[in-house]
Amino acid sequence: MATRLWLSLSLAALTAASAPAQDARSALQAAAKAMGVENMRSIQYTGTGWQGMVGQNVAPDQDWPRVDLTSYTRTIDFDTMSSREEYVRAQGNNPPRGGGAGFPFLTPQKVVNFVSGNVAWTLNAQGQPVAQPDAAELRQIEVLTTPYGFLKGAMAPGANPTMATRREYDQRVTVVSFVALGKYRINGTINAQNMVQRVQTWIPNPVVGDLYYENVYTNYHNVNGVQVPRFHQHQDYDDGGSLPNVSGGDHAFGLETISDVRLNVPNAAVTAPDAVRTAKPQPVRVETQKLGEGLYLLAGGSHNSVAVEFTDHVAVIEAPLNEERSLAVIEQVYTLMPNKPIRYVVNTHHHWDHLGGIRTYVHEGATVITHEGNKPYYQEVLRARPWVLQPDRFALHPPEEWSEGYIFETVREKYALTDGSRTVELHSIQGLAHAVGMLIAYIPREKIVVQADLYNPAAAAPNASNRTFQQNLRRLRLDVATIVGIHGPPAPMAQFQGFVTKTQ
């Protein structure tokens, strides 16, 4: 009896180990046949929809701010793993609340993105190719998470897909899973009609780590022999199912109508221009400008920081972008002010491009100073947990004080950092559509205001953020000589006053 039981158990184990690969292949083949992918070497689809500005919501509990995609065309060549994505985005009737480069869009903006194998690039406003080495893997993941790219990727030699079944949307479905590019687990749900109805994966992100990325495909219909769905993409989770809603951003992309689909289009494969293929990744540069005694602007990239020296410590205003940028800035702070710890990092607002270095500073031992409204989000999203795809120092050896909430100082209206001689005042900006809980720093000795996203001297015409900033400076009665931006060079107050009162 015992032997028999052991035999049947080991048979069951054998079946469980070997069956999924075979079953996964048949599930994929059935889907490829039903969806018209069997003889597909390339596809081009055209439509209209919307895009969400990921990491740029007006408040942490809100969805990503949206713009309309008034035209959208993607062309994918599967043999060369190349893709050309071209779209025009416009503000439309979407609320102009939140942020992101160029948001809200006063005029429509055209974007063209490419990938060819391991090379990614875009076109600038003049139509010149610009290398984007950091986007190469993500662009390939975009292709592999289309319904067609998923089937192609899972059936490619060496993909070794596995399979599980479950109930989803009141149907028994098949989930086929494979690992792409050596590290991205991609799961596709194939429904009872053999349609790919969901493809999910995770992508590395400096703020939330392994960022959840999923496409939901519904409303399939036949166009020129291919099954074409409604495209609906989430990036990150909306946790509104359990109040309070701490992290509300999720809607990232959608195609609501598809007007044209072509198969095996001529010249679908794109080749990377030589200038792009041979482009070297730009090293992080930190350029120091002295603003006063023990007061430094640390520039040299798209986002600046400001370092302030106190008697026995340093405060850094803003930790933007990512760990790489932050480590370079921190090293420069220690070169300028040896033997003084970075005790505080001031965060102006919660947008991801201004938040991506916060973990590096906390790992360095700094206390975060931010608006009180941001604390639940920062605690939840930045909690110590494993980051599998691209672990940062904080993930590899987390300081436990972070998860227990000890390393925050929060601001409601006003907060002062002072050692008796050097003072930095933090003030909360009111009535701003770009982000709630925005802080500015006022440094009385040099009459400097440090601000993020409220004024960039490179801008052509004044916007709502500029006007709100001016109203707040008046309300706070600050005696300002110079405006120092997290973006762009410092500017005299008179230049800002002239700019903001300019009529368009």
Question: Site residues (CB under 5 A) for Zn ion?
Answer: 99, 351, 453
Q: Are 355 and 394 in contact (CB under 8 A)?
A: no
Cβ at position 158, least distance to Zn ion in Å = 42
Cβ at position 100, least distance to Zn ion in Å = 7
Pick from 456, 490, 495, 494: nearest CA to 292 = 490
Contacts of residue 318, Cβ cutoff 8 Å, sequence gap at least 6: 303, 304, 305, 306, 345, 346, 347, 348, 354, 450, 452, 486
The region that residue 488 occupies, defined by phi over 0 for left and psi between -120 and 50 for alpha, beta otherwise, is left
Minimum CB distance to Zn ion smaller for 152 or for 303: 303
Three-class SS string for 302-338?
CCCEEEEECCCCEEEECCCCCHHHHHHHHHHHHHHCC
Cβ at position 135, least distance to Zn ion in Å = 19
Cβ at position 351, least distance to Zn ion in Å = 4
Alpha-carbon distance of 334 to 317, in angstroms, equals 15
Minimum CB distance to Zn ion smaller for 57 or for 177: 57
Q: Are 137 and 181 in contact (CB under 8 A)?
A: yes
Specify the 3-state DSSP secondary structure of 387.
coil
Cβ at position 246, least distance to Zn ion in Å = 19
Alpha-carbon distance of 425 to 440, in angstroms, equals 8
Minimum CB distance to Zn ion smaller for 254 or for 485: 485
Cβ at position 329, least distance to Zn ion in Å = 16
Cβ at position 481, least distance to Zn ion in Å = 23
Cβ at position 36, least distance to Zn ion in Å = 43
Cβ at position 440, least distance to Zn ion in Å = 13
Q: Are 86 and 112 in contact (CB under 8 A)?
A: yes
- Tell me the Cα Rg of the chain: 26
Q: What are phi and psi of 37, to 5 degrees?
A: -100, -10
Alpha-carbon distance of 176 to 165, in angstroms, equals 9
Helix (H) or strand (E) holding 72: strand 66-77
- Look up residue 68 and give its two tokens: 């309309």
Cα–Cα distances (Å) from 406 to 14, 246, 365, 368, in that order, read 51, 19, 11, 10
Cβ at position 340, least distance to Zn ion in Å = 28
Minimum CB distance to Zn ion smaller for 49 or for 462: 462
Minimum CB distance to Zn ion smaller for 99 or for 356: 99
Minimum CB distance to Zn ion smaller for 233 or for 456: 456
- Decide: residue 279, CB within 10 A, 0-12 exposed, 13-18 middle, 19+ buried: middle
* Alpha helices (H) along 114-257: 136-144, 147-155
